Structure 1
Amino acid sequence: MFLRNDFMTLRALEPEDLEIMYRWENDSSLWMYGSTMEPYSRYTIKQYIANSDKIIYEKKHLRLMIELKDKSVVGCIDLFDFDAHNSRAGVGVLIDSAFQHQGYATAALELLCRYAFDFLNLHQLYAHIPTINSYSLKLFEKNGFTQCGLMRDWIRNGDRYLDVAIYQKTRL
C-alpha cells in the first residue's frame, strides 16, 4: 500500500477532521508557510472537506491526514498545484505542535513521495520553504529533495521580508 507504513496512514479527509483543521487553518503563526491570508470559518472548512472527494486531476490539490495506528491525527500533507501535463506537484506538510520532532513528517513525506512517483506517475515534486524554517529544510533534504533556487524577500512576515528556498525532487 502506497499510503501506509507500520505506524501511520495517510488518509482522506473525514467530517471528524473539521475541528483540528479549523484550528490549524486559523493559527496565524502558520500563515507564512502557506497561502492563507485570512481566517476560515467552520462552514468553509466543512465545505472543503465535503468536496475533498473529487479526484486530484479535477481539483489540482490533495490533502491527506496523517493518522497513527491509534487513530491520533498528528498532521496533514498536501499535494498542490498538481500539473498532470508536466507531471509535477508542490508539497506541503503540517505537523501539529504537540507531535513535532518525532519523525512523523519524515515518514509522511516518504509515503507521499512514493505515492506521487509510483502511483500518480509524477516526474517531480517541489516545495517552497522559508529559509528561517530550518526543520523543514532538513526534512526535505533528508527525503532526497535538493535546493534548486532561492527567492529573496519573498514572504512578508510582520515588518520584514523572508527568503524562500525552492526544493525539488525528481523521480529517478
Structure 2
Amino acid sequence: MFMLTIQLSPVPELRTARLRLRRLVPTDAPALLQLRSDERVMRYFDREPMTTEQQALELIGSTDELIAANKGVMWGICMPNGAEIVGTIGPWNISAEHHRAELGYLLHPDLWGQGLMGEALTEVCRYAFENLGLHSLEANVNPDNAASRRLLEKHGFVQEAYFRENFYYNGQFLDSVIYARLAPR
C-alpha cells in the first residue's frame, strides 16, 4: 500500500443545497467564540469552553497550521448567502500513511434538527474520499451524545469501539465511542 499525498491548500469552498463550507478566517473569531462558548454546543465536547476572542483566533491559527502541514482542515459552515459561520466541520489528525482521518463538527443550537449537519457531513465525506483519497473517517463521540451518534449512524458510520474511562476531563474519567466509515468501493 502506498502513502497518500495529501494537498489541502488551497482549501476549496464546498457547497450543498443549503450550505456553503469555506475556509476559516480571522474575522470568524467572534462567531467561533460564540459557538465554542455556548454551553449547549460544548455539553459533550469534553473541553473547556472558550472565553476570549483570542482563543478563537488561536484555533483559527492552529487550523491554518494543520492545512499548511496537510494534517487537517476545518471549514466554516455558512448559510448560502451568509458570511457568518454557524458551525464548523472537517477532517483533522490526517494519517496519510493509514489513509485515515478523524472528523470533527459542531453547529449552532438554533439550527439543530434541520438536517444541516447531515448535509455538511455528506459533502465533507464525499470530499475526503474522492478528493483526498482517504480510506476511512473516524469520529470520537461522548457516549451520552445521542444526537451525534444518530447523525453518524444515519450517514453510514459504524461503531467500532467503546473505550471505558479513556479520557480525563474536568476531574473525571469519561468513556468514548469511536465510529468509522469506510470509503465507498
Percent identity for Structure 1 against Structure 2: 28
93, 106, 109: which one pairs with 1:97?
109
- Following TM superposition, the consecutive aligned residue runs of length 4 or more in structure 1 with deviations greater than 6 angstroms are none
Q: Distance in 1 between matches of 2:30 and 2:13?
A: 27
Q: Distance in 1 between matches of 2:13 and 2:50?
A: 33
* Larger strand fraction of residues: 1
RMSD of Structure 2 on Structure 1 (CA): 2.6
Q: Match of 1:62, SS?
A: coil
Summarize the Cα distance change of 1:85–1:158 in structure 2 as closer, same or farther, 3 Å threshold: closer
**CA apart distance, 1:117:** 0.2
Residues 79-94 of structure 1 aligned to structure 2 (within 5 Å): 79-94=91-106
Contact 2:77 2:86 in 1 (8 A): yes
56, 67, 75: which one pairs with 1:56?
67
Q: Distance in 2 between matches of 1:140 and 1:38?
A: 24
45, 55, 61: which one pairs with 2:56?
45
**2:175 corresponds to:** 163
- 1:121-155 CA distances to partner (integer Å, 9 max, x unpaired)? 10110001111111000000011000011011234
Residues 22-171 of structure 1 aligned to structure 2 (within 5 Å): 22-27=33-38, 30=42, 32-33=44-45, 36-37=47-48, 39=50, 41-49=52-60, 52-53=63-64, 56=67, 58=69, 60-71=71-82, 73-156=85-168, 161-171=173-183
For 1:15, the aligned partner's letter is P
**What's the TM-score, normalizing by structure 2?**
0.79
**2:18 corresponds to:** 7
Q: Distance in 2 between matches of 1:118 and 1:135?
A: 27
Q: Match of 1:139, SS?
A: helix
Contact 1:9 1:66 in 2 (8 A): yes
